[in-house]
Structure 1
Amino acid sequence: MAETVLLTKGRYRARIARTPEDVAKAQCLRTLAFCTNQTDCDDFDQKCSHVLIEDRRDGGRLVCCFRLLAMESGQDVTRSYSAQYYDLSAMESFDGSMVEMGRFCIHPDRSDPDILRIAWGAMTAFVDRNRVRLLFGCSSFAGTETEVYLDSFAILKDRHLAPKRWLPRVKAPHVFRFASNLKRRPDAKKAMVRMPPLLRSYLLMGGWVSDHAVVDQHMNTLHVFTGLEIGAIPPARKRLLRMLAG
């Protein structure tokens, strides 16, 4: 099988996994990044395409990975990973192809900001190639203590809630309803420092979030449903993404 390379930039290469061994490498990195006691794997791994970002100057070492689940329209959204935790019935009327990005992680020993840029470049290449109209997933905050992230949640409430027509409803048993419970003026600097890098990227492109966070004890995270309508990305940001993907 020919290797499916999404892009190569400088020292990094992004490609689609093509063998069980590739997927196993991604699972090992996820296990390390998410600090789980058991190998991070689930049934969705067999349904998804896995994107691997490798360091060509370090023997092809895996430095980042994520998985993608493609859907033809909103009618398929209930089979997504996110649908286990959020009531996504409002999104079933979405007309257009969708892709769920999940299990995004960067090797904990790597802090090169180019890795995240390459990841978004690879995502852009995939979105363009498949004419995707909506990108979504769960954006995770480390740990399950909400106090650390109150400024971040306040900013999400004030500026980034999903349009009512797509707003996910509560489904998980343990949630933090920040949109209805938080009454505070956020410190913008603290909010952005504590915002997960992936979520910051979504927001810069016009992404939106659910009005509540799921408390996921299994993964030791708080996560919010995050959506990004491709057509709503600001033109300047689109040009930057396509430069990364080119």
Structure 2
Amino acid sequence: MALHVFGTKNALPARLSAGNRFSRLAPLMLITGGAMRRFGTETDEAPPLSGTLGRLGSLEVRLARGPREVWRAQRLRYRVFYQEMSAKPDVVARVFRRDADRFDAACDHLLVIDHAARGRFGGVKPKVVGTYRLMRQSAAERLGGFYTQGEFDLAPLLARHPGQRFLELGRSCVLKPYRTKRTVELLWSGIWAYLQHHRIDAMFGCASFDGTDPDALALPLSFLHHHAHSQGEWSARAHAEHYVGMDRLPLEMVDAKLALKQMPPLIKGYLRLGARFGTGAVIDRQFGTTDVLVVLPVSAIDKRYADYYGGETPRRAA
């Protein structure tokens, strides 16, 4: 299953993806040889990250504090994914108007809160206007794997990096009136603080193209295959039963300028950050998308963005 921050499937720095609606960075599988491979333990984890992680005007980014705030994030996800986008809810989701699954309880939920939002009767009522679900590998180990392990075979990749810490980014969305540069910058300020606090080494996930016809996406898929293919120690591929070839056009037929023009803002943003993409795409019919695997070691993030999100900026001003 693939999800869209502004209108594709994962939040990006606003300078990279303003105009996109929502997004998903999908996760990894830690199963090797039929058993769970443990790369870390609870004893070497950092304590919970608390407090404000960034602020711009009335907008604050921080982690959810308790079940009620997680519930508010789930309601926002339902509103964006199922009411605004084309995702198809099951009976439970439709009845409770929440996008929820068994992984939510094991994840941290990053929130953007507008403290100046108005309630139905005109009074000030803080509102959750953006969210991102963060799943560390220790949580995935307890559950038997990461959320999207069914799409991509990542066990060989993880086995090549023992001792490194991986993070799944997913279930990201922003309420339509807040799809601006500063909202996404707040999300990524929060993600960057989270990466540093928990000493994350690499992120994985899915980015998505709208539509389920790979031939209609031949040019951008072929561009990623020929020019941004993950190789060597960071290579990974779609499971055989879901595999859709991305090399739909030969290299000499790929017009790079036109391909980038057709690329979702999310994917162009990941390219700028330094990400590479796995072998093979996956069709997600529930969400009406074609998913590609993003592989992004923290060390590969362009220094400009690392400095920007890690430095002292107005995003941390009250």
TM-score range, shorter chain: 0.7 to 0.9
Structure 1 residues 234 and 40, CA gap change in structure 2 (3 angstroms): same
Which of 25-34 and 188-197 deviates more? 188-197
Task: Detail structure 1 runs of 4+ shifted over 4 Å in the superposition.
Answer: 74-78
The CA distance in 2 between the partners of 1:57 and 1:145, in whole Å, is 43
Pick from 171, 174, 183 the counterpart of residue 115 of structure 1. Answer: 183
Please give the residue correspondences for 1:69-148 in structure 2 after superposition, counting only pairs within 5 Å: 69-71=135-137, 79-93=145-159, 94=161, 95-148=163-216
Structure 1 residues 4 and 192, CA gap change in structure 2 (3 angstroms): farther
The CA distance in 1 between the partners of 2:299 and 2:225, in whole Å, is 23
**CA root-mean-square deviation:** 2.8
Structure 1 residues 75 and 32, CA gap change in structure 2 (3 angstroms): closer
SS at match of 1:82: coil
The reply on whether 1:203 has 2:271 as its aligned counterpart is: yes
Q: Is the 8 A contact 1:63 1:107 kept in 2?
A: yes
- Give the TM-score normalised by the residue count of structure 2: 0.68
Pick from 5, 15, 30 the counterpart of residue 77 of structure 2. Answer: 30
The alpha-carbon deviation at position 9 of structure 1 amounts to: 2.5
SS at match of 2:53: strand
The reply on whether 1:62 has 2:142 as its aligned counterpart is: no
- Give the TM-score normalised by the residue count of structure 1: 0.86
Rg comparison, structure with higher value:
2
Pick from 226, 230, 241 the counterpart of residue 162 of structure 1. Answer: 230
CA offset digits 1:188-235 (Å, max 9, x no partner): 444334433333322211111112111011222211111211112232
The alpha-carbon deviation at position 91 of structure 1 amounts to: 1.8
Q: Is the 8 A contact 2:49 2:197 kept in 1?
A: no
The CA distance in 2 between the partners of 1:51 and 1:142, in whole Å, is 25
More strand by share: 1
SS at match of 2:223: helix
More helix by share: 1
The reply on whether 1:182 has 2:182 as its aligned counterpart is: no
Structure 1 residues 120 and 192, CA gap change in structure 2 (3 angstroms): farther
CA offset digits 1:87-113 (Å, max 9, x no partner): 112222213111110112222343312
The CA distance in 1 between the partners of 2:279 and 2:49, in whole Å, is 43
The CA distance in 2 between the partners of 1:232 and 1:3, in whole Å, is 27
The alpha-carbon deviation at position 131 of structure 1 amounts to: 0.9
Please give the residue correspondences for 1:9-48 in structure 2 after superposition, counting only pairs within 5 Å: 9-35=56-82, 36=87, 37=89, 38=93, 39-48=98-107
SS at match of 1:43: coil
The CA distance in 1 between the partners of 2:57 and 2:260, in whole Å, is 28
